[in-house]
A and B are shown apart, each in its own frame.
Chain A
Amino acid sequence: MINNVPFFAVMLLIAIGLYTILFKRNLIKIAMGIVIVEAGVNLFLITLGYREGGLAPIYTHLPSGVEIPGGLVLPVPQALTLTSIVIGVAILALILSFVVRIYRHYETLDSRNIRRLKE
């Protein structure tokens, strides 16, 4: 049961994020929602990569007597998470600069008032 706690956290984070994106009207909150979903997905990847008793494959800091490569962890999920974090930073920067532009133009962050395209 205790091993499943991260997965519940993942579900919770994704649910909160989706709720925020779908039901909040403030553009900054929508950006936060995306970041929360992303955090959930990243937590999922990291949790998948966890192996009890496994060591990080950093050869400079291995304690003596560790079996190589059997005692080490394959760091693919961590690499994926890192890539996803990098992409997340880029997306967040882009969204926030759009939000700045929109605020400059419409003087509001409420998505209900930003609908020139709907007409």
Chain B
Amino acid sequence: MTMPDEGLSPVVRVIAAMLFPFILIFSLYVILHGHLTPGGGFQGGAIGASAVVMLIVAYGARWVESKAGEESVSVLESLGGLMFVVTGLLGFLLAATFLSNFLVGEVLFGEIPTFGSNPGILNTGGTLPLLNIAVGLKVIGGLASVVLIMALGSRRDAA
């Protein structure tokens, strides 16, 4: 049986390309609504990384590598980690202690909802959405680069 060197048939490729933006949007939704609904940085990040994994399966690791190198994906991961630590540090520079919620009452994410059941106000949570975004970036970058490296490394012709 002859298989293409990498990746799957054109049908799968086209469908994967069409699904890719929707999966990313869902991932962003899960990340951004992490402080309101089930989900959050890790779950959303894992969904986003699975979109990349789908591309790796459909198009082959080398194609993905040529579009977004492992290096640049790792930069995303570092940025996510950096954002988390900086948010934590700002916590004690602007407020009391490390990881303090310094955004409460501010314009961005600072709204204080009334206690009890509510329909879900996105502009709440203080630093929590920021931390979710940071974790999301880190997880997308981390998981995607892990799968990419493994896919590249387990090729038969790899060095």
Q: Do chains A and B touch in the complex (CB under 8 A)?
A: yes
Name the segment of B81-89, B103-111, B113-121 touching the other chain: B113-121
Contact A58:B116 (CB < 8 A) given known A96-B150, A97-B153, A100-B154: no
Main SS of chain B's interface residues? loop
**Tier of interface size on chain B:** 10 to 19
For chain A, what secondary structure do more than half of its interface residues adopt (helix, strand, loop), or is it mixed? helix
Contact, CB under 8 Å: B37 / A82 = no
Q: Mark A41-79, 1 if CB is under 8 A from B, else 0.
A: 000000000000000101111101010100000000000
In the complex, how many residues of chain A place their beta carbon closer than 8 angstroms to a beta carbon of chain B?
16
Known: A58-B37, A89-B143. 4 other contacts (CB 8 A): A62-B117, A66-B117, A82-B42, A100-B150
Contacts A/B (CB < 8 Å), 30 sampled: A56-B38, A58-B36, A58-B38, A59-B36, A59-B116, A59-B117, A59-B118, A59-B120, A60-B37, A60-B118, A60-B119, A60-B120, A61-B37, A62-B117, A64-B117, A68-B115, A68-B116, A68-B117, A82-B42, A86-B42, A89-B143, A93-B146, A93-B150, A96-B150, A97-B146, A97-B149, A97-B153, A100-B150, A100-B153, A100-B154
Question: Which B residues form the contact surface with A (CB < 8 A)?
Answer: 36-38, 42, 115-120, 143, 146, 149-150, 153-154
